[in-house]
Amino acid sequence: MTTATTAPSTSETQDLGSIIRSYHEVTERLKQSHEMLSLEVFRLREQLDEKNRELARRERLAALGEMAAGVAHEIRNPLAGIELYVSLLESDLTDQPEQLELVRRIGSGVHNLEGIVNDTLSFAHGAEPTLLPVPFWEIVDRVVAQAQPRADAVSAQIEVDDRLRAVVLFCDASQIERALLNLVFNAIEAVGRDGHVRIADGGRTADKRHARIVVEDDGLGVAADQLDKVFTPFFTTKDTGTGLGLAIVHRILEAHGGWIKAGNRKDGGAVFTMAVPLPVDSTPDRQGHAGESARAKATRLTEEGKD
């Protein structure tokens, strides 16, 4: 006896094919969603690790700053006495050139030590910035005027991006001037004779709240294993200096709610990028941050705008 087999109708075959295609489409979408979620989890983990490293770094710097401030205060008192005695000796030795020269060398050493103490205290305390709209070109003019003699001494050229004329920052002008001057001084030392230093407009950050100010040179650049260390207090590759210049720059930008990054140019030389806040409306924003202190605002902008 033969059993007859009924073949699926064309309609049933089409329905089955449609179901299979839908299944594959849903599976593919789920796969893509899983991949996207995995990437987002990875990104968030990296971000969390970075925040934890930054928090640990701030805690270390706070402890180091407190210790450095105590040491600096203890050194400053005897230095003042030495400086007084040096000035008295200079008055008494005006008719003895050889002895006077020795005393002046002592005075020069005392002056250098006083500079180190002042740098240490600047790093340790970090004055609260007074944030106001400031045409950046005014800061650039003052910095170039102060740096030009050093550049002339080694026949180095300081170039300024003309687009910076249109940049207005929301900052403490004196503090940002000091930060920029430190970067330019370092760049001049790095390029040496006949080198080039450039202050440029690096555009805006992704959040549009900060201007990128770039200082680059055509020197030897920064060694790869030192890029993460250059802002560490007392770290230096020079025979002279305190190793506090870049640490102070970092502290100034952090107090402004900005940041600074170090890197190297493709064509050789170092590049330092500062992110400085741009002016914002004085009216309350959607997050209700009106009336907050400069320090609180700086902290919030750092968390919201760092990229």
Q: Give the N- to C-terminal CA distance of the chain in Å, as an integer.
A: 79
Q: Angle at the Cα of 63 (from 61 to 68), degrees rounded to 5?
A: 90
Encoded tokens for 245: 């210049």
The rounded distance, in Å, linking the Cα atoms of 253 and 4 is: 85
Amino acid symbol at 91: S
Residue 263 β-bridge partners: 271
pLDDT at 157: 93
User: At 264, phi and psi to the nearest 5?
Assistant: -125, 145
Q: 258 and 210 in contact (C-beta within 8 Å)?
A: yes
Q: What is the pLDDT of residue 45?
A: 87
Q: Where are the beta strands (DSSP E) in 30-138?
A: 132-135
Q: Would you say the C-alpha torsion 303, 60, 169, 288 has a positive or negative sign?
A: positive
pLDDT of residue 51: 76
CA 152-158-162 angle, 5° bins:
145
User: Whole-model pTM above 0.85?
Assistant: no
What is the predicted pLDDT for the residue at 225? 80
Amino acid type, 57 = R
**pLDDT (0 to 100) of residue 292:** 43
Question: Quick one: DSSP state of residue 223?
Answer: -
Q: Which of 40, 37, 38 is CA-nearest to residue 48?
A: 40
Per-residue pLDDT of the chain (307 residues; tens, 9 = 90+): 555 555 556 676 777 777 888 888 888 888 888 888 888 888 888 878 877 776 776 666 666 666 666 777 777 778 888 888 888 888 888 888 888 888 888 888 887 777 777 766 666 666 678 899 999 999 999 999 999 999 999 999 999 999 999 999 999 998 999 899 999 999 998 898 889 999 999 999 988 999 999 999 998 888 888 887 887 777 676 666 666 778 888 888 988 989 999 999 888 899 999 999 999 853 334 333 333 445 455 555 445 544 4
Q: What token pair was written down for 87?
A: 């000035």
What's the half-sphere exposure (Cβ side, CA atoms, 13 Å) at 127? Answer: 13
Q: Rounded to the nearest 5°, which phi and psi values hold at 293?
A: -70, 165
DSSP 239-300: SSS-S-HHHHHHHHHHHTT-EEEEEE-TTSSEEEEEEEEPP--SS--TT--TT--HHHHHHH
Written as six digits, the tokens of 233 are: 């207090």
Contact 272, 292 (CB under 8 A): no
- Taking the C-alpha atoms of residue 28 and residue 183, their distance in angstroms, rounded to an integer, is 52
How far, in Å, CA of 173 to CA of 22, rounded?
62
- Number of Cα atoms under 13 Å in the Cβ half of residue 32: 6
Tokens 């789920």 sit on residue:
30
Residue 292, token pair as written in the block: 């907050």
User: Given this model, what pLDDT does residue 151 score?
Assistant: 93
Listing from the earlier edge strand, what are the strands of the sheet with 157-160?
Answer: 157-160, 196-204, 210-217, 270-277, 259-264
